């Protein structure tokens, strides 16, 4: 059973962004599977780093799209992206330093961040009026 499932309520009515959000959910599920089954450290590290890399790729694409639609709240949205990347980098540093990473703490953080970000921040551009 997946840790997270895509739900249409997460749709921002932009096929590219929805596809990328689905990919992020898939990567969170891969990380959850690796962590809960006690997979080798290398596999967990690889998935965690893939999640971080893809998150940056997604943020870059989303920010480009937000600029193209002249999104009013671009600066605050970008700041949220920067904050998450910093949090994920801290998780990777903890992992690389063999510090404990409680599975459920990490997974609940990723899930709540992703859902909260989509539902609170990304929905703002999903409902934003078209630029004049």
**What pLDDT score was predicted for residue 130?**
66
Q: For the chain, give every domain's residue range.
A: 41-126
Share of the chain above pLDDT 70, in %: 96
Give average pLDDT by consecutive 10-residue segment, the chain, 132 residues. 91 94 91 79 80 92 95 94 90 88 81 90 84 58
Tell me the C-alpha distance between 106 and 28, whole Å.
Answer: 10
Question: What is the fold, at CATH topology level, of the domain defined by 41-126?
Answer: 1.20.120
pTM of the model: 0.86
Instruction: Tell me the per-residue pLDDT of 9-30, one tens digit each, with 9 for 90 and over.
Output: 999 999 999 999 999 999 889 8
Q: Which residue has the tokens 């997979």?
A: 39
Q: Which residue has the tokens 């961040």?
A: 113
């Amino acid at each position: 059973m997946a840790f997270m499932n895509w739900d249409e309520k997460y749709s921002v009515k932009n096929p590219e962004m929805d596809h990328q959000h689905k990919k992020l959910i898939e990567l969170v599920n891969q990380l959850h599977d690796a962590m809960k089954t006690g997979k080798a450290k290398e596999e967990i590290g690889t998935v965690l780093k893939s999640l971080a890399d893809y998150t940056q790729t997604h943020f870059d694409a989303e920010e480009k799209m937000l600029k193209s639609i002249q999104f009013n709240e671009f600066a605050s949205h970008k700041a949220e992206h920067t904050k998450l990347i910093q949090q994920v980098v801290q998780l990777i540093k903890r992992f690389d330093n063999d510090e404990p990473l409680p599975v459920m703490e990490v997974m609940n953080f990723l899930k709540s961040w992703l859902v909260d970000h989509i539902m609170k921040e990304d929905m703002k551009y999903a409902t934003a009026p078209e630029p004049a």
